[in-house]
Structure 1
Amino acid sequence: MNEEAGMFGGRDRLAIEGDVPRRRRWPLIIGALVVVAALAIAFVMMGGGSAPAEQKGKAAAKGGNNGQIPTVTVAVPGRSQIGNEISGTGSLAARREMPVGVPGEGGMVVRVLVEPGQWVGAGQVLALIDRSVQTQTAASLEAQVRVARADASLAQSELDRAKALVDRGFISKADLERKTATRDQALARVRVAEAQLAETRARNRRLDIRAPEAGLVLTRGVEPGQIVSSGSGVLFRMAKGGEMEMRVQLSEADLQRVRVGASVQVQPVGSDAVFTGQVWQVSPVIDQQTRQGVARVALAYDPALRPGGFASARIVAGVTEAPLLPQSAVQSDERGNFVYIINAKDEAERRPITTGEVSDAGVAIVSGLSGNERVVVTAGAFLNPGQKVIPQLQKKAQ
């Protein structure tokens, strides 16, 4: 028993003694691994590659900065010829409207020979007036003229015979003078009769309603059978030469900028057509109620230009040379309008500006830019003064 116990007790002691070295080796292994890892990290940190540590640091710094610097689109606007436009509205009308009424005694209208929209010549008959009575009067005066001429011819013959007999002593000089006076009276009666006939014929011609000038008939206010006289008012309205105009209503300030001869683009309401005209008159007075004046724009005839219609106008009040920017480039705050420009260090700088005309082409910059700057056209709202950026030049449209 003791031997067995000694045998088993010796085995247990050997097993325990063998486990002790194993337990002691694990901390050594772990420690060795930690040391190796630390050495590897130190090797990497100190540049353990083909590139020097300084170059890798610069590359890392560069890559980190590029990831944070924004890219913005810039443009160099230069200077452009910009037309200063003034917008306004107004009505269309005949440039020289001619009202046509009854110039003579009037009477009953027999025929109307024209319609609105028809072109007529100077002196052309527009309407005929009944002249049956006037015709008889003219015929009677023609007969009186013939009678007066016959009397004058007879008086002249008697005077010629008297002159031949006075030298022979058959007729006294007193008789010769009486015959001369009779002849002169007969000739005077001829002239009176002829003048009366001419007056009647002139009156008869005035019975017809005629066009005073060549032009376009705009309205007609008479029909056959109507009795007209000098008090009947306007029977026809005409546009002299067919010339039209637009009467543009403008504010007092805008009217000061308009000059005679300025080019105007006119677009009637409801039409896509645009007509080119010129300012031919600027109103010398301002309406006291509306504080507006009228600029009259001459237009050539076109069927789309109907007097009384409404239209819009763009008047070119002058041409200036200035930088032109898209509206996206112009910013504004409580300090006013401004843009961001990129300096030589690729840093954003705030530049105060004064804007001018705004059109489809862009915003004219009256002051603040020379046109040679690199101006941020997009993303300007997200920049701050002094911020570093990567500028990308905008390509010009072909």
Structure 2
Amino acid sequence: MNYETGFSRDREELDMADSEERARKRRRWWIVGGIALAVLVLVAVGVWASRPAGGAGAAAGGEGGAKQAPTVSVMVPGRRTVDRVVSATGNIAARREMPVGVAGEGGQVTQVLVEPGSWVAAGQVLATVDRRVQSQQINSLAAQIGVSEADLRLAQAELDRAQQLVSRGFISKADIDRKTATRDSARARLGVARAQLAQQQASTSRLDIRAPAAGLILERKVEPGQVVSGGSGVLFRIAKGGELEQLARLGEVDLARMTVGQRATVTPVGSAQTFSGQIWQISPVIDPQTRQGVARIALAYDKALRPGGFASAKIVSGAADVPLLPESAIQSDPKGSFVYIVGPQNKVVRRDVTVGDVTDAGVTVLSGLSGQEAVVVNAGAFLNPGESINPQRIKSGG
């Protein structure tokens, strides 16, 4: 009897504990639910407060949207005559470079008379070679001429006396013929001696290394004391007349647009100075490896232009009547280049274009625009086709 009573009491205590636990869980759920409801109420109040008050705000919704359209600068570019410019790079070189070496038998250089950068005249001596041996040979040949002249005078005098005696019968006709032959032989020996002297003088004069034409000394490769000969190679390099050129390398498509006489401006690397020139020759050959050819741009001499240096060139290859836009107006994506123009109801419309040269004045548009459209100048990257804008027109080129 006591055992059953104790078991009933324990069961009642367990039931009461379970009831209290369930009550605590219900209270937690009520608290969480109340907090969530309060958050929803606060959000709803905030949204309601941000809406226009009353029906008047709703009615003016369309008008308010128009007032909020972004103000965008636009321009009507029209059409302008713009030079077509092709850019190229290449080395500067002498237009006509003349290598100068030993023309004679050579010898030991005694004196070098010019330096790189010197201007020389045609025939001017650039360097001299020792000629002591040749000078003695010239003296010997000159003396031989004196001997031959004396022999000729003697032979002529004997012939003259014999001719005076032949009429008296003291000298036969055969003696006259022999004396005439002796005189002629002496005259011939004199001619040979004179020719040998002239040959030696010419050979000696070739010991001097001379400029073949007037020009600018570009390079010197010889020093006093050096022994030179016909196999010594180039001793001097001369730019004929000081004329220079740029060897502008162009792709075969651009090269096909070039003609002799087209204007160009050349800017050496590291310099802001530009030099005017024109194409004087176009390469008839395309390099099969690089697919490039050379347009040779003639340049007047200037000390800032150094042969062997690198330079960029801008070649004017004609003119075109095209719209000209600022670079900010041109947009691009994987489909290509495009601009935004102002369409009906001030909505932006995408217009695909083909752009040409980029100049200091702007970008030329080869196709896609007539020039009479209102083109968005700025903020094109932040617009979408069909978006309404408030266009603010500016002057062309502004």
For Structure 1 versus Structure 2, the TM-score category normalised by the shorter chain is 0.7 to 0.9
SS state at 2:187 partner: helix
Distance 1:396 1:323, change over 3 A: closer
Structure 2: gaps (5+ residues):
1-54
CA-CA distance at 1:288 after TM superposition: 2.6
Indicate the residue corresponding to 2:116 in structure 1: 116
SS state at 2:170 partner: coil
Indicate the residue corresponding to 1:229 in structure 2: 229
Indicate the residue corresponding to 1:365 in structure 2: 365
Indicate the residue corresponding to 1:395 in structure 2: 395
For 2:378 and 2:110, locate their aligned partners in 1 and report how far apart those are by CA, in whole Å.
75
CA-CA distance at 1:138 after TM superposition: 0.1
For 2:175 and 2:80, locate their aligned partners in 1 and report how far apart those are by CA, in whole Å.
99
Structure 1: gaps (5+ residues):
1-44, 46-55
Distance 1:334 1:272, change over 3 A: closer
CA-CA distance at 1:237 after TM superposition: 1.5
For 1:152 and 1:81, locate their aligned partners in 2 and report how far apart those are by CA, in whole Å.
86
SS state at 1:370 partner: coil
The residue identity in structure 1 corresponding to 2:265 is Q
For 2:295 and 2:379, locate their aligned partners in 1 and report how far apart those are by CA, in whole Å.
43
CA-CA distance at 1:174 after TM superposition: 2.7
CA-CA distance at 1:134 after TM superposition: 0.6
Distance 1:397 1:365, change over 3 A: closer
* Residue 189 in structure 1 maps to residue 186 in structure 2: no
* Residue 136 in structure 1 maps to residue 136 in structure 2: yes
CA-CA distance at 1:347 after TM superposition: 4.3
For 1:75 and 1:179, locate their aligned partners in 2 and report how far apart those are by CA, in whole Å.
110
Indicate the residue corresponding to 1:88 in structure 2: 88
Bigger radius of gyration among the two: 1
CA-CA distance at 1:384 after TM superposition: 4.5
CA-CA distance at 1:351 after TM superposition: 2.6
For 1:135 and 1:194, locate their aligned partners in 2 and report how far apart those are by CA, in whole Å.
15
Quick check: 332-341 or 230-239, which moved more? 332-341
CA-CA distance at 1:96 after TM superposition: 1.4
Q: TM-score, normalised by structure 1?
A: 0.79
The residue identity in structure 2 corresponding to 1:112 is V
Indicate the residue corresponding to 1:332 in structure 2: 332
Count of matched residue pairs: 343
CA-CA distance at 1:163 after TM superposition: 3.2
Kept after mapping to 1: 8 A contact 2:326/2:397: no
CA-CA distance at 1:139 after TM superposition: 0.5
Indicate the residue corresponding to 2:169 in structure 1: 169
SS state at 2:206 partner: helix
For 1:172 and 1:103, locate their aligned partners in 2 and report how far apart those are by CA, in whole Å.
55
Distance 1:392 1:135, change over 3 A: same
Distance 1:345 1:170, change over 3 A: farther
* Residues 372-397 of structure 1 deviation map (CA, whole Å, 9 limit, x = unaligned): 22222123344455555433221356
SS state at 1:169 partner: coil
For 1:302 and 1:145, locate their aligned partners in 2 and report how far apart those are by CA, in whole Å.
53
For 1:271 and 1:383, locate their aligned partners in 2 and report how far apart those are by CA, in whole Å.
41
The residue identity in structure 2 corresponding to 1:260 is V
Distance 1:270 1:383, change over 3 A: closer
CA-CA distance at 1:250 after TM superposition: 2.3
